[in-house]
Chain A
Amino acid sequence: MLLLDIVLPGLVLGGMYALIALGLTLQYGVARIMNLSYGESLIAAAFGALSLYAGLGLSPLVALLLAVPCAVALNWLLYRLLLERLMRRGKDRGAQEIDSILVTFGVLFVVQGVMLIAFGGQYYSYSYLSIPVVVFGTTLAVNRLVALLFAAAIGTAVYLALTRTRIGTAVRAIAVDASAARLVGIDVPAMSGFAFACGGGLVAIGGVLISMFLTFNASMGVVFTMKALVVVIMGGVGNVMGALVAGLLLGVAETAVARLVDPGLTLATTYALFLAVLLIRPTGLFGRAAS
């Protein structure tokens, strides 16, 4: 079944994209930081999982317990040490965005350089739970199914935390209007830092899960940053459900092109979709009209 051969792996990949995009939504939508070094966190987490697996024989799912707190802490430090100062300096949203883009562009090269020294430029992968199972007549590896399951569970948990808790409500309030949030007593810088750190934690989860079934190398972060950005914009900035649908759509479209046309054209597919959405609905598939 060619259709299922495309749709099932596409959904697995798309689930990962949605999870990664959810983290970026927290960083860009809430903390207002366009983090170009986002994909580097993902690759760093993937390398972390690889090292723990190869060196200590730790399961990647256990590695999550280690990777997530580390990523949250590092992202929080990044926010407190560099980005918060820029946020205070910027006169308006535009200036803040430009400064944060530039600084994280620098961070990208630092992190990438460290990884290149540690691991070199070659591709890595490891074999964990790569047992084939047949689902609806399509053969999938167990590791992909486990990754999808985890992504779904974590995504749901984040969604519930955002919509059902006090902190989640505060975070959403900042996403809508930071200055109004300040007026109702929300500590905007602290909550923004928190959201930024959580975004970093989510992308680390994505990195660990992806390392279970994809090959990766030290300079691949840019590609994941791009995909996450495209999904966020396609879904409408700050729209969690939009990011989910856009992520799944992108995963299926890429798998279809890789399978039917040429695996070398997946990034071109991403861009084509991105451009199409920008031209037809600049505010995203589910975004509200700009005021």
Chain B
Amino acid sequence: MIAGTTRTLTWCAGLALAAVVIAYPLCVNSYYLALGISVLYFTILATAWAMFSGPTRYISLATVAFFGIGAYTAAVFGETWSWPVVLLAAAAIGALVAAITGLSTLRLSGIYFVIFSFGLAELIRQLVIWYEVNIHKSVGRYLFSAVTQDVLYWQLLGLAALVLLTGFLLGRSRYGLALRAIGADETAASHSGIDATRIKLAVFVLSAVFMSVTGAIMAPRWTYIDPSIAFNPMISFQVVIMALLGGAGSLFGPVLGVIPLVLLFEVLTATLPNHFSIVLGAIFVLIVMMLPKGVIGLIAPWSWSTPADGVTGAAPVRDQSGPLLRVDDASKSFGGLRAVDRVSFEVARGQIVGIIGPNGSGKTTLLNLLSGALVPSSGTIRFGGIAITGLKPHRIARLGLARTFQLVRVMPDLTVAENVAAAALFSAAPARATNRELLDLVGLAPMHDAPAGELTYIDQKRLELARALALAPQLVLLDEWLAGLNPSELETGIALIAKLRDRGITIIMVEHVMDAIRALCGHCIVMNAGSVIARGVPDEVLADPTVVTAYLGGADA
């Protein structure tokens, strides 16, 4: 009853607010209308900015590049084409430039992207000036349009509603969680089946489209447009400040930053026009130093929701006969060093295979080849009959080959449950267990909602295993998963691995704990200096003189 009343009240308040916002231009004079327009266009820009840069932490300093592209498209075509076509053209050109920028920089580490975006607006501005001077023969353009300030306001209002709706849907979809997983640990995300490059690119283009359209809508406000107006770097800067002040990690955070700052800008331009950028810069430094999570960070740490458990889909068709994994002559060289040298082996379904050998013998490199972290210099790897040599990590993960890392990689800002959910997002196989069951299995159920970064080292290892299992894998690669456990934890760990085998999961484990190798593995492979020097049943292999020499050093070594 009370809940129902609250809900009705919320709806009434929302509708009243919407009515006020829509009717605003009819009730106020032109000064306040102009202020309203500023609030709206910064709301769109800041929300679009935070849509990409918030979760991924790829800081884009290129907002004005897309805004300016939109404004210029409107200036060039505004008088000849019909207005909706102009807006579409602005969106298309913005998307194209974003796609080119994104394709060339987003697959690299974040820093390259930041640097490139930092100069992108300046680059485009210079290119536009060059074009206008040499080809159009005049730098500025006049745009006379019938769009009144009221209509401009309503267009922006519509776009603002659209960008908030998009942000809302994106945050609720699996792509929202995937973006945050990428922001937290991109390598771990790709090994959990997330196609990091494509998702980043898609969201970057989406946010650029909103920015370009905003620029096009705003263009008639100026009448006269030249590159220094359209590509004013101050706009990028203002947008970043607003989003960070409000909190880039949540949907409505940027809006909270926009309103006070637009009012502040207004006061500043009126009272201290010459000191504008100094005051702004100082405020910005203060925000970064004092409010790393923005205003909204003071209220609620996170306001995103986790998608439901157990995403299902069609299982990939697999060749059920023959070995599950077959490695033929795989090699990997780093410069002159052959870290893995012509290694061949097969793993049958349901087996636990141990890979042992002294440090530096190439065990982890071999796992990296299998999981796609590295591409073999030569040789082939077939998994379930499919050649996976050279496939990207997320593709291999989705096929059902999961891994843990020797140096633990969890996504520290996400909760334990979200870490596991992130892996299940794009898994093609039907979920065999819910995420809670998986956390139960590894003994982490009580920590369900804790941020993964706060777990102990051992618990982070457990979480990694749960995340690997969430892919519903056929094969799990464990890279020294038992290292660092105390004797009783070791016993639990060994029992857990045995339980996984009983569930039909095939396991390859790189391990130095020989008791575990003896207890679990039916077959093991010994590596030294990149090559396989022995293989067979653990007890026999460990007694092999060449193996003993490799570990302890021989008289001639």
Footprint of B on A, CB under 8 Å?
34, 36, 82, 85-86, 89, 91, 94, 97-99, 101-103, 105-114, 116-117, 222-223, 225-226, 229-230, 233, 262, 264-265, 267-268, 271, 274-275, 278-279, 282, 289
Q: How far is the CA of A97 from the CA of B110 in the complex (A)?
A: 10
Please state if A267 and B122 are interface contacts (CB–CB under 8 Å).
yes
Residues of B within 8 A of A268 (CB): 123, 126-127, 130
* Interface check B1, CB cutoff 8 A: no
Residues of B within 8 A of A114 (CB): 278
Which B91-147 residues have a C-beta within 8 angstroms of A? Answer: 104-105, 108, 110-112, 114-116, 118-119, 122-123, 126-127, 129-130, 133-134
Q: How far is the CA of A106 from the CA of B115 in the complex (A)?
A: 15
By beta carbon, the residue of chain A nearest B282 is A110
Please state if B57 and A94 are interface contacts (CB–CB under 8 Å).
yes
CB-defined A-B contacts under 8 Å, sample of 10: A98-B59, A98-B110, A103-B289, A105-B61, A113-B278, A223-B122, A265-B126, A267-B123, A282-B108, A289-B334
Please state if A106 and B118 are interface contacts (CB–CB under 8 Å).
no
Residues of A within 8 A of B244 (CB): 102
Q: How far is the CA of A267 from the CA of B115 in the complex (A)?
A: 14
The 5 closest A-B pairs by CB, nearest first: A109-B281, A106-B284, A110-B281, A113-B278, A113-B277
* Interface check B315, CB cutoff 8 A: no
By beta carbon, the residue of chain A nearest B412 is A91
Residues of A within 8 A of B114 (CB): 34, 101
Contact (A267, B126) CB under 8 Å given A98-B57, A102-B59, A282-B112: yes
Please state if A86 and B289 are interface contacts (CB–CB under 8 Å).
yes
* Interface check B271, CB cutoff 8 A: no
By beta carbon, the residue of chain B nearest A232 is B115
Kindly identify which residue among B115, B240, B288 contacts A229, using a CB–CB cutoff of 8 Å.
B115
Q: How far is the CA of A56 from the CA of B110 in the complex (A)?
A: 46
Residues of B within 8 A of A113 (CB): 275-281
Residues of A within 8 A of B240 (CB): 102, 105
* Interface check B522, CB cutoff 8 A: no
Residues of A within 8 A of B133 (CB): 264
Main secondary structure of the interface of B (DSSP, over half): helix
Please state if B112 and A116 are interface contacts (CB–CB under 8 Å).
no
* Interface check B233, CB cutoff 8 A: yes
Q: How far is the CA of A250 from the CA of B339 in the complex (A)?
A: 37
By beta carbon, the residue of chain A nearest B103 is A279
* Interface check B148, CB cutoff 8 A: no
Q: How far is the CA of A222 from the CA of B240 in the complex (A)?
A: 17
* A221 CB to nearest chain B CB (Å): 11
Please state if B292 and A107 are interface contacts (CB–CB under 8 Å).
no
Please state if B284 and A274 are interface contacts (CB–CB under 8 Å).
no
* Interface check B6, CB cutoff 8 A: no
Please state if A264 and B129 are interface contacts (CB–CB under 8 Å).
yes
* A47 CB to nearest chain B CB (Å): 16
By beta carbon, the residue of chain B nearest A265 is B130
* Interface check B456, CB cutoff 8 A: no
Which B245-297 residues have a C-beta within 8 angstroms of A? Answer: 274-285, 288-289, 292
Please state if A101 and B275 are interface contacts (CB–CB under 8 Å).
no
* B269 CB to nearest chain A CB (Å): 13
* Interface check B77, CB cutoff 8 A: no
* Interface check B154, CB cutoff 8 A: no
Residues of B within 8 A of A106 (CB): 281-285, 288
Known: A106-B285, A116-B277, A278-B105. 6 other contacts (CB 8 A): A98-B110, A106-B283, A109-B280, A226-B115, A267-B126, A282-B108
Residues of A within 8 A of B237 (CB): 105, 109
Q: How far is the CA of A108 from the CA of B288 in the complex (A)?
A: 14
Please state if A99 and B288 are interface contacts (CB–CB under 8 Å).
yes
Please state if A109 and B112 are interface contacts (CB–CB under 8 Å).
no
Please state if B119 and A222 are interface contacts (CB–CB under 8 Å).
yes
Please state if A110 and B285 are interface contacts (CB–CB under 8 Å).
yes
Please state if A105 and B134 are interface contacts (CB–CB under 8 Å).
no
Please state if B130 and A264 are interface contacts (CB–CB under 8 Å).
yes
Please state if B112 and A278 are interface contacts (CB–CB under 8 Å).
yes
Please state if B104 and A278 are interface contacts (CB–CB under 8 Å).
yes
* B541 CB to nearest chain A CB (Å): 30
Residues of B within 8 A of A34 (CB): 111, 114-115
By beta carbon, the residue of chain B nearest A104 is B285
* A102 CB to nearest chain B CB (Å): 5
Q: How far is the CA of A233 from the CA of B109 in the complex (A)?
A: 12
* A122 CB to nearest chain B CB (Å): 14
Q: How far is the CA of A133 from the CA of B57 in the complex (A)?
A: 52
Please state if A233 and B112 are interface contacts (CB–CB under 8 Å).
yes
Please state if A107 and B278 are interface contacts (CB–CB under 8 Å).
no
Q: How far is the CA of A112 from the CA of B283 in the complex (A)?
A: 15
Q: How far is the CA of A279 from the CA of B104 in the complex (A)?
A: 7
Residues of B within 8 A of A108 (CB): 281
Residues of B within 8 A of A116 (CB): 274, 277
* A143 CB to nearest chain B CB (Å): 26
Q: How far is the CA of A108 from the CA of B118 in the complex (A)?
A: 12
Please state if A82 and B334 are interface contacts (CB–CB under 8 Å).
no
Residues of B within 8 A of A91 (CB): 412, 453
Q: How far is the CA of A117 from the CA of B237 in the complex (A)?
A: 19
Please state if B116 and A103 are interface contacts (CB–CB under 8 Å).
no
Q: How far is the CA of A274 from the CA of B134 in the complex (A)?
A: 25
Residues of B within 8 A of A274 (CB): 116
